[in-house]
């Protein structure tokens, strides 16, 4: 296990969230679940921590009780997608019960922020022709879910 890995605080949905994410991303699985005992503070048998591999990355979820700390966009997971189909699939799965935001960002049903980014975006906005890059960026600012074809069209518009 790496020395550094994400550790996310949930009220009482850690086990549910881990199963949800493991069902969306390949190379993901729930590794282990530690449960509260009668020593508390959670109800005996309720998940305390859930160890998850999220596309191979170790992540720990904690059922820490009533949420004193809320997820914000200050911490998110970025998912680099190979094509539009992958963008569409992750976007649909993660926005179900959640909410869309701008420029490829969304909040899932647990309030956690994700960035669903097509790999082509870095090529389109990183190209040497700065006018094309600017037009693509302007188009991106108008989008919620990123659309590769629309980004390319905007870049190539005269």
What pTM was estimated for this model as a whole? Answer: 0.92
What is the average pLDDT across 7-36?
96
| 1 has pLDDT over 80 | no
- Is the same domain home to 95 and 108? yes
- Is the same domain home to 4 and 61? yes
Q: Give residue 131's pLDDT.
A: 96
Provide the domain limits for residue 151.
71-158
- Is the same domain home to 106 and 146? yes
- Is the same domain home to 37 and 115? no
Q: Give residue 41's pLDDT.
A: 87
- Is the same domain home to 35 and 102? no
User: Over the stretch 74-114, which tens digit does the pLDDT of each residue have?
Assistant: 999 999 999 999 999 999 999 999 999 999 999 999 999 99
- The strand pair at 29-35 and 47-54 is best described as antiparallel
User: Over the stretch 113-149, which tens digit does the pLDDT of each residue have?
Assistant: 999 999 999 999 999 999 999 999 999 999 999 999 9
| CATH at 88 | 3.10.180.10
Q: What is the 3-state secondary structure (H, E, C) of the chain?
A: CCCCCCEEEECCCHHHHHHHHHHHCCCCEEEEEEECCCCCCCCCCCEEEEEEEECCEEEEEEECCCCCCCCCCCCEEEEEECCHHHHHHHHHHHHCCCEECCCCEEECCCCCEEEEEEHHHHHHHCCCCHHHHHHHHHHHHCCCCCCHHHHHHHHHCC
- Is the same domain home to 80 and 62? no
- Is the same domain home to 62 and 1? yes
Q: What percent of the chain has pLDDT over 70?
A: 98
């Amino acid at each position: 296990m790496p020395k550094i890995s994400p550790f996310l605080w949930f009220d009482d949905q850690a086990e549910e969230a881990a199963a949800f994410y493991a069902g969306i991303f390949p190379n993901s699985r729930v590794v282990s679940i530690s449960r509260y005992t009668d020593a508390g503070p959670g109800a005996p048998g309720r998940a305390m921590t859930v160890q998850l591999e999220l596309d191979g990355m170790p992540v720990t979820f904690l059922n820490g009780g009533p949420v004193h700390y809320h997820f914000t966009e200050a911490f998110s997971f970025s998912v680099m997608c190979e094509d539009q189909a992958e963008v569409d699939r992750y976007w649909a799965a993660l926005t179900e019960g959640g909410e869309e935001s701008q420029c490829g960002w969304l909040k899932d049903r647990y309030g956690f922020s994700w960035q669903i980014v097509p790999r082509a975006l870095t090529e389109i906005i990183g190209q040497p022709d700065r006018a094309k890059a600017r037009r693509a960026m302007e188009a991106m600012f108008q989008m919620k879910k990123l659309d590769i074809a629309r980004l390319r069209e905007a870049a190539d518009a005269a």
